[in-house]
Homo-oligomer: A and B are copies of this chain.
Amino acid sequence: MIVRPHQHWFLRLFDWHGSVLSSIVFRLSLNLLMSVAAIIGYPWYSTFGIHLTTAPFSLIGVSIAIFLGFRNNASYARFIEARTLWGNMHITQRSLLRQIKCLRGISEAQVQEFIGLQLAFSWALKHRLRETDAKADLARLLPEKWHNAVLGHPMPTSQTLLCMGEWLAQRRDEGLVSDIVWQSIDENLSHLSAYLGGCDRLAGTPIPFAYSLILHRTVYLFCTLLPFALVADLHLMTPLVSVFISYTFLSLESLAEELEDPFGTAPNHLPLDALCVNIERNLKAMNNDFPLPEPHQPDKHFNLT
């Protein structure tokens, strides 16, 4: 995610790192080349009765814009849903700890143990979504007694949740938690299960592949043919207008593709590292467990992972 301090509208026009420009610059160059080819070749190939006009390209262009609008909506909705799932995780983790801390007769060690399980869950989910190794973080965060149950298990995230349920059942056995209170806390554990399942669903089920493919193809074919349609009217201005239109379509198509899977580490993806640290900071602060870990800071391009 890019977290940019407020920028003057003029400077923003020339911002390089923020946009997806770097990923489409090669394709825009191709479009520029095509425009030059159209200008040079026009007098020659038009003698064969080969000519393209703007009118049908206007039709196809507006249609593609409508479909691209649909694709951007779908991708953005996935981005927002992913962010909301992580936001709700933070909320639920905070509520869980409030419920635990307001129990009577619970020891500080037990609270610490539960916080460890909470944090292990968040970090394990992050590693699962980014397909990185969760071992180090789990070993750091998990209380000793739960190492066996989780560390060697093929599904550490789901297993950590089970351990939280078991921790709660043990408190019920000790009489610290009545059935009613168990119900309230258990409901929050089910919410954590829902966030895990929701993230899994987003990560495992992309937008139907044919949408990406059809739009990818039509956008490219459109941009490739566009200079030949413009050249009869615009002559020397063809490259400018053609690259401008192509930039609009290619960059939005490219951004929609990037947002489709919001759990990666590209500039417009969610800053899962920073979110995990935020949860850790909040839970530790609630337990007066200072000093807190430092919050993650954006790098010099304002990027936060």
Contact = CB atoms under 8 A, between A and B. Distances in A.
Interface of A: 1-4, 9, 12-13, 15, 18-20, 27, 48-70, 72-74, 76, 79, 83-84, 87-88, 90-91, 94-95, 98-99, 101-104, 153-155, 158-159, 161-162, 165-166, 168-169, 173, 178-184, 186-190, 193-194, 196-198, 200-201, 205-206, 208-214, 216-218, 220-222, 225, 230, 233-237, 240-241, 244-245, 247-249, 251-252, 255, 258-259, 267-268, 270, 282, 285-286, 292
Nearest to A62: B62
A300 to B, nearest CB: 15
A76 to B, nearest CB: 6
A13 B144 CA distance: 52
B104 A213 contact: no
Contact of A63 (B65, B158, B183, B193): B65
7 contacts: A60-B248, A63-B65, A63-B248, A83-B201, A87-B197, A95-B190, A159-B286
Given A18-B209, A19-B213, 5 more contacts: A12-B217, A48-B236, A58-B58, A87-B197, A155-B285
Number of copies: 5
Contacts of A209: 1-2, 4, 18-19, 267-268
Nearest to A268: B208
Contacts of A205: 1, 83, 270
Nearest to A89: B197
A236 B180 contact: no
Given A15-B213, A62-B59, A201 B249 contact: no
B158 A285 contact: yes
Contacts of A188: 190
Nearest to A259: B208
A197 B94 contact: yes
Contact of A52 (B74, B222, B241): B241
